[in-house]
């Protein structure tokens, strides 16, 4: 049996997404920047996708900019906003995705900002009182906090963060890559400056994402070379990817409530079965439905003798899962997120992440496999 529980890393393409992309690949090939009929047709297709994404997020189409993915979108928001507003102070958390952390750290190394990292508790929750304290002392601060942690699944109250930023004059960016397509984002209500999305996290294609820039913000491009994306991103548009992104997000919103309930039931079932079958199993981060992303369960296992070989053994037995962020795979450095919450380094941790295609039968297989590996027969 082969099972896939690494949906926080990437998801399978929806069949309807494949169909719309293949149709485009077969029938359309013009450059959206060309003024002839073939180009105008492609430009219309791109703008239709932009309007679709904007409508779902309750934003204006002029606030949506397509990118190569979440990492580029994060970089663009962080680098260009800090530059545009002459910001010299930034706040983030030690548990952010490296697309955010490394970008801010490089800006600090270059002497452009001073970076403060918020205190986090043993569950991985950011200290909101610490955030307010830092904001009150440092007007005109750039704040970057993700909506849901990609390794732990912890949810951050970004509405509260946005209110604090508005109160103290901060600029707020949130990496919403893990929650886009899984939660409804009403950007007319959420007072936020920048959010990011990546299609492959919600059953769309890889290599395409978007950056939302609130209309009150004016920043320069990160990539120069053309007038594409209303002069905000040089380079010929990935039209096929953009069409796939828009379709995938449309499907995600149509099926959101049903999938939230179903996937949460899978997560609860796995937690229950692991607790019943593996003595001393623990869970990293928050696991309550109102505090954590319903697609992620980070499991700390007692089989200390396995160490880094646990994921290898799971893979051999047909289970695809992750030890943390997929972007750290191949690195000999352990998870900065688990280190940040003080997780026991002697206990191997596995991130299981779910999607609408997973089943309880697959969970039973994973639990039995873990039981065997950890010698709890």
CA distance 350 to 147: 21
327 is catalytic: yes
Q: 165, 303, 327, 374: which one is catalytic?
A: 327
3-state helix, strand, coil in the chain (%, to 5): 40, 15, 40
CA distance 141 to 139: 6
Q: Are 92 and 143 in contact (CB under 8 A)?
A: yes
**The two structure tokens encoding residue 16:** 């309807």
Instruction: Identify the burial level of 334 via C-beta atoms within 10 angstroms of its C-beta, where 0-12 means exposed, 13-18 middle and 19 or more buried.
Output: middle
Burial 234-267 (b: 16+ CB within 10 A, else e): eeebbbbbbbbbbbbbbbbbeeeeebbebbbebb
How do 114-117 and 349-353 pair as beta strands? unpaired
Q: What H or E segment, with its residue span, contains residue 76?
A: helix 70-84
Main-chain dihedrals φ then ψ at residue 143, nearest 5 degrees: -115, 130
DSSP-derived 3-state class of residue 272? helix
Sequential DSSP letters for 39-67: HHHHHHHHHHHHHHHHHHHT--GGGEEEE
Catalytic residue annotation:
327
């Amino acid at each position: 049996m082969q099972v896939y529980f690494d949906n926080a890393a990437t998801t399978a393409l929806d069949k309807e997404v494949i169909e719309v992309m293949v149709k485009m690949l077969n029938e359309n090939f013009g450059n959206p920047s060309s003024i002839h009929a073939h180009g105008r047709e492609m430009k219309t297709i791109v703008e239709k996708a932009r309007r679709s994404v904007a409508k779902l997020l309750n934003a204006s189409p002029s606030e949506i900019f397509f990118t190569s993915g979440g990492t580029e979108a994060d970089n663009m928001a962080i680098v260009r906003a800090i530059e545009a507003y002459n910001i010299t102070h930034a706040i983030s958390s030690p548990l952010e995705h490296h697309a955010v952390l490394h970008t801010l750290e490089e800006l600090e190394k270059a002497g452009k900002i001073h970076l403060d990292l918020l205190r986090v508790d043993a569950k991985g929750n950011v200290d909101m009182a610490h955030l307010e304290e830092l904001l009150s002392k440092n007007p005109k601060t750039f704040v970057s906090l993700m909506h849901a942690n990609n390794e732990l699944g912890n949810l951050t109250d970004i509405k509260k963060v946005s209110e604090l930023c508005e109160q103290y004059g901060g600029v707020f960016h949130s990496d919403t890559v893990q929650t886009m397509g899984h939660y409804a984002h009403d950007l007319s209500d959420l007072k936020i400056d920048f959010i990011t999305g990546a299609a492959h996290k919600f059953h769309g294609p890889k290599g395409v994402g978007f950056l939302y820039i609130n209309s009150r913000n004016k920043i320069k491009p990160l990539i120069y070379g053309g007038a594409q994306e209303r002069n905000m991103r040089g380079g010929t548009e990935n039209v096929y990817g953009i069409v796939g992104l828009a379709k995938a997000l449309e499907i995600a919103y149509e099926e959101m409530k049903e999938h939230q309930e179903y996937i949460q039931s899978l997560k609860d079932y796995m937690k229950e079965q692991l607790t019943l079958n593996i003595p001393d199993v623990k869970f990293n981060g928050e696991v309550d439905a109102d505090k954590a992303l319903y697609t992620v369960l980070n499991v700390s296992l007692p089989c200390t003798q396995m160490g880094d070989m646990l994921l290898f053994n799971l893979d051999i037995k047909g289970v695809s899962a992750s030890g943390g962020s997929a972007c750290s795979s191949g690195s000999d450095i352990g998870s900065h997120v688990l280190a940040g919450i003080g997780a026991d380094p002697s206990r191997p941790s596995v991130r299981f992440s779910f999607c609408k295609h997973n089943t309880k039968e697959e969970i039973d297989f994973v639990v039995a496999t873990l039981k065997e590996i950890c010698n709890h027969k």
